Copies of this chain bind each other. A is one copy, B any other.
């Protein structure tokens, strides 16, 4: 296929087109299974333009992850802002996951999927993923701390509780992806509520 430099009907700048195509392919067929040439062909850009923006697939992977991370954290923050109680936040998060699942373009946790694919081969990407996972836990922890402070009197280890909530989210999306059974997504909410309710661990 001859790379084309023609403007895409979407009107998106080249870099955004490359990133959008990369995101779609990384999430559906996988990061490791996606080659630069396929991204160039499917985003209708020229090879030279690709290298103007990204000197390697690894750097494209980093930018994809950073873009995903910004959206993911903004979504979490929005759901937390709108939730007066952690239980509401969990319910909203689970609704979002189920909506993504029904849309047919849900492939589980993009962070974890990417992590599985870089193995020992990319400490740079593994490090960026670890940072984003820690930021996710920190965001939940900050929200819980604020909530507990406002109520006072209930000392909880908000970071540990946040880590276990993230644990239950990861477990649910992985069991769902492994088995294809939607019941795994239904388990997320009661397991998180049990953690919040009785600070069980």
Contacts and interface: CB of A to CB of B under 8 A. Distances in A.
Interface of A: 28-33, 107-109, 111-121, 129-130, 133-134, 137, 160, 163-164, 166-172, 174-175, 177-181, 183-184, 187, 190-191, 194-195, 198, 200-201
A191 B167 contact: yes
Determine how many copies of this chain the complex contains: 2
B174 A112 contact: yes
Nearest to A108: B116
B117 A33 contact: yes
Contact of A187 (B118, B120, B133, B164): B164
A132 to B, nearest CB: 8
Interface majority SS (helix, strand, loop, mixed), chain A: helix
A130 B178 contact: yes
Nearest to A119: B30
A178 to B, nearest CB: 4
Contact of A116 (B112, B120, B121, B168): B112
Contacts of A174: 109, 112, 167, 170-171, 174
A113 B109 CA distance: 12
A64 to B, nearest CB: 15
A178 B170 contact: yes
27 contacts: A30-B116, A30-B119, A30-B121, A32-B32, A32-B33, A32-B117, A33-B117, A107-B119, A109-B174, A112-B177, A113-B116, A133-B178, A164-B187, A166-B175, A167-B172, A167-B175, A167-B184, A168-B191, A170-B175, A171-B171, A171-B174, A187-B201, A191-B191, A191-B201, A194-B195, A198-B198, A200-B200
A196 to B, nearest CB: 12
A200 to B, nearest CB: 4
